[in-house]
Amino acid sequence: MTFRRSPLALAILGLLENGPLHPYGLQRLIRQWGKDQVVNVGQRTSLYRMIVRLEEGGLITAVATERDERYPERTVYHLTDDGRAICRQWLGEIMTTPRNEYPEFPAALSFVMLVPPEAAGELLAERREKLTKRIAELQLELRTEVEGKPVPRFALLETEYQVAVTVAEAKWIDGILHDLRNGKLTWTPGPV
């Protein structure tokens, strides 16, 4: 069976590398380790649906069912050899091959001519303010400690990447705002 990779599927397989877990444990670790900043966990149903698909694909398997009076019954999953191999394959493909991921912001920029340049400047200035706050939040995350010890750098590489990308976007917006203010960038608003 060919399994279409996704960030959530990669996260589940990657977390199961550390040993068997139940879905609630997976969700808790995704959030606890800050992986929810780069993996859209969404609602718990998304996680459960992905677990079912991974199990049907033979990448994970149920190994036990835990019963505890305080919690509902929980199925514990573990990574299969195929799951381990696919996880490594996806990791290699994703890390080596840039791909257009269709983010919303560039899509909005492609229709900026629908609003006057002044309005575009105001919108971009507002985004720039939010980026400044986001950069501060990410930099704070980089200084996270667990039990009084800094989190190892390898566990924060995705946060470092987010800082770099967010700083680059902010710098780019600064240039666009400069060009809008001095008239180097202008247009007449209207339909495309």
Instruction: Report pLDDT digits (tens) over 111-145.
Output: 999 999 999 999 999 999 999 999 999 999 899 88
- E strand intervals along 69-153: 71-79, 145-146, 149-150
Residue 100 burial (CB < 10 Å; 0-12/13-18/19+)?
exposed
CATH of domain 7-96: 1.10.10.10
Residue 13 near residue 87 (C-beta atoms within 8 A): yes
Mean pLDDT in residue range 133-160 = 91
Domain positions in the chain are 7-96, 104-181
Output the pLDDT for position 35.
81
Output the pLDDT for position 192.
62
Report d(CA 12, CA 60) in Å as an integer.
Answer: 9
Instruction: Report pLDDT digits (tens) over 162-191.
Output: 999 999 999 999 999 999 999 999 999 877
- Which of 3-7, 12-16, 58-62 is predicted least confidently? 3-7
Instruction: Report pLDDT digits (tens) over 45-96.
Output: 788 899 999 999 999 999 888 766 676 678 999 999 999 999 999 999 999 9
Mean pLDDT in residue range 15-43 = 84
Q: Helix or strand or coil: residue 97?
A: coil
- Specify which residues 11 forms β-bridges with: none
